[in-house]
């Protein structure tokens, strides 16, 4: 089943183009990472999906128009933003009471079970909790709702590495069941590489890369090249090159370069790149192309 489908999705703010006619398709049971620099259109795309902003083009979420059918859609969708919106004066048990009273698919016992794994006390006020604890509470509330789509916009921003790891471990182990669908945006891409099933880069309101993680792992190769073979490696047309401790690290798109892993292995140490490295390569190429057009 297709959970999200957009065709020619466009959004402008005055003369600023936030979304420039993007097409995207997210199937049920997938975890999509939507990655892009600041101002690329990530949050605008999520706001359109959540019915928080009008748009031009076609957009269906769980078969509904999110702008005109938002009330019905929100029964099946949950959202965590980069800034927790839980009232600071509220106590933890009051937050549980509130969600239980407003959402028909909230399972309080399940939320209590999630919180039992944390150090959060039921009598504590939200303002007394650390940012990491607020995020844990927010996640516990959301995971206890039987939703079909979870949208995460920089959910671990400002958290230390321990809380970030706990967040994604809980998401995978306690929430994701291969029938739910998750869309996540984050700048901390190293945290989500093992979580994602699909990857999408967005820049200047346009999708510049769209692939499954299976394709990512088979298509892109990074080689730490032996010094005497750098010239030969460059002749194979890598999409990016960087220097680390005096050694050249070249990134190849096997689909574009028409080389194979065995050939690259003869040049040095071969491995699958990190999402961050591919992101830098793609964004750098985009900037170069834009500069070339401007000239």
Low-confidence ranges of the chain (pLDDT < 70): 83-84, 286-295
Which of 204, 229, 263 terminates a domain? The answer is 204
The domain spanning residue 175 has which CATH number?
Answer: 3.40.50.300
* Residues 69 and 146 placed together within one structural domain of the fold: yes
pLDDT at 84 (0 to 100): 62
pLDDT at 286 (0 to 100): 63
* Residues 89 and 170 placed together within one structural domain of the fold: yes
CB atoms within 10 A of CB 158: 12
Inside any domain, residue 210: no
pLDDT at 183 (0 to 100): 96
Which of 175, 204, 233 terminates a domain? The answer is 204
pLDDT tens readout for residues 235-262: 999 999 998 887 899 999 998 888 889 9
Residue ranges making up the domain that contains 227 = 215-294
pLDDT at 17 (0 to 100): 95
- Specify the number of domains making up the chain: 2
* Residues 186 and 220 placed together within one structural domain of the fold: no
pLDDT at 292 (0 to 100): 44
Inside any domain, residue 180: yes
* Residues 189 and 233 placed together within one structural domain of the fold: no
pLDDT at 157 (0 to 100): 81
pLDDT at 287 (0 to 100): 54
pLDDT tens readout for residues 47-79: 999 999 999 999 999 999 999 999 999 999 999
pLDDT at 289 (0 to 100): 54
Q: What percent of the chain has pLDDT over 90?
A: 67
* Residues 116 and 6 placed together within one structural domain of the fold: yes
Which of 170, 204, 238 terminates a domain? The answer is 204
pLDDT at 47 (0 to 100): 95
């Amino acid at each position: 089943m297709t959970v999200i489908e957009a065709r020619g999705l466009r959004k402008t703010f005055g003369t600023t183009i936030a979304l420039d006619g993007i097409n995207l398709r997210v199937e049920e049971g997938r975890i999509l990472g939507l990655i892009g620099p600041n101002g690329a259109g990530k949050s605008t795309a999520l706001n359109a999906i959540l019915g928080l902003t009008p748009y031009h083009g076609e957009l269906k979420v769980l078969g509904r128009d999110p702008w005109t059918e938002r009330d019905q859609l929100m029964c099946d969708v949950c959202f965590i933003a980069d800034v927790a919106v839980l009232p600071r004066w509220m106590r933890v048990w009051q937050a549980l009471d509130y969600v239980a009273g407003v959402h028909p698919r909230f399972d309080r016992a399940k939320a209590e079970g999630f919180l039992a794994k944390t150090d959060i006390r039921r009598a504590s006020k939200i303002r007394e909790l650390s940012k990491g604890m607020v995020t844990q509470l927010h996640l516990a509330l959301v995971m206890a709702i039987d939703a079909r789509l979870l949208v995460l916009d920089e959910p671990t921003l400002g958290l230390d590495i321990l809380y970030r790891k706990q967040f994604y471990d809980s998401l995978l182990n306690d929430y994701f069941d291969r029938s739910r669908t998750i869309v996540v945006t984050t700048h901390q891409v190293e945290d989500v590489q093992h979580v994602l099933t699909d990857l999408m880069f967005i820049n200047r309101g346009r999708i510049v890369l769209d692939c499954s993680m299976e394709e990512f792992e088979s298509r892109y190769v990074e080689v730490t090249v032996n010094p005497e073979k750098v010239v030969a490696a460059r002749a194979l047309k890598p999409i990016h090159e960087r220097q680390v401790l005096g050694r050249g690290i070249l990134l190849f798109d096997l689909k574009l370069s028409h080389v194979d892993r065995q050939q690259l292995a003869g040049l040095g140490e071969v491995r699958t790149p990190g999402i961050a490295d591919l992101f830098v390569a793609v964004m750098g190429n985009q900037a170069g192309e834009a500069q070339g057009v401007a000239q």
